[in-house]
Amino acid sequence: MIRKAVFPAAGFGTRFLPATKASPKEMLPLVDMPLIQHGVEEAKAAGIRDMIIVTGRGKNAIEDHFDVSFELEALLEKKGNGDLLQQVRSVTDGADFFYVRQNLPLGLGHAVLRSVEIVGEEPFAVVLSDDVIDAPVPVLKQMIAASERHSAGVVLAIQKVPKDAVSKYGIIKGKKIGDRAYEVSDMVEKPRPEKAPSDLAIIGRYILPPSVFPALLATRPGAGGEIQLTDAIRSLIGKERVIGYEFEGVRYDAGTKLGFQMANIAFALKDPEIGPGLQAFLRKERFV
Ligand code: UTP
């Protein structure tokens, strides 16, 4: 059973500067919900209760967001705005939040390692909230089911990407073992297209065993002087069953400006309140 999810959120978000100079990237909104809340909602829907957020300097807004705001609640109550009150309360309902600091962004692996004391000796999930996935069944739920079905200690969310995009991702080498599952025998971080073992890219959702922590401790800094999560997971192959799971759903790379705008348009068009208006605008101005 997976009870805990780690949300690395200590990066500088340089691709969104100047917007991220004083505000966290993870708080950028998709329509009206911050990216990181989308991730938290996905984890809740997969039965996870403990949300462990790895933060750093300038990330206080994340802690304030996942906290009760008595003044705001009192104001909404006084105004009789029950719908908004309900929405504000649901941000903190059904989950417990824990914070740990990563003083310097020394890589995703380093950020995950910071959570070791809170996670302890149990399997856990990792969610990169800038990978937004619109899915019929929450992706973490799909992955937890796959880990049980295949008795896998490690489950990596994977997605087919165009050949010329492989150098942006960790790419797996694997053999298909089920409908959407691949047994992973190797993985390469950001390979050149001619060196890539497949077109199956690792996306920002992971189910990991506690043995990943000693593996991270033993991992030396790799590309860019950062401690890479993929290097630590790679060292687990052979000791743990590692599978890649081709999830069902549409993924947006909201860590890039283009992906973020695409996610916003997709979510806004589906929003009952603003969708019809946005569609009419796009048509009228001949954007579509
Ligand atoms: P990114 O690679 O998107 O880095 O990290 P970033 O700093 O957020 O953004 P850019 O590249 O400068 O635009 C993916 C996720 O991992 C977290 C980030 O906060 C983001 O949620 N992360 C990354 C950490 O928590 N610590 C790190 O050292 C690196």
For position 124, which CATH number holds? 3.90.550.10
Beta bridge partners of 188: 171
What's the pTM? 0.96
At 115 the pLDDT is 98
Domain assignment present for 271: no
CA distance 202 to 71: 42
At 288 the pLDDT is 81
CA distance 226 to 102: 13
Percent of the chain exceeding pLDDT 90 equals: 95
Low-confidence ranges of the chain (pLDDT < 50): none
Domain assignment present for 123: yes
Atom of ligand 1 nearest to the CA of 56: 25
* Contact between 102 and 110 (Cβ < 8 Å): yes
Atom of ligand 1 nearest to the CA of 26: 21
User: In this structure, which residue's CA is closest to atom 21 in ligand 1?
Assistant: 9
Q: Compute, in angstroms, the gap from residue 279 CA to the centroid of ligand 1.
A: 33
Domain assignment present for 251: yes
Pocket test for ligand 1, best of 17, 53, 101, 108 (most atoms within 8 A of CB): 108
Domain assignment present for 280: no
Domain assignment present for 226: yes
Domain assignment present for 263: no
Domain count across the chain: 1
User: Does ligand 1 have an atom closer than 6 angstroms to the CB of 130?
Assistant: yes
- How many helices (H) and strands (E) would you count in the chain? 11, 13
Q: Which domain holds residue 64?
A: 4-255
Domain assignment present for 98: yes
Domain assignment present for 161: yes
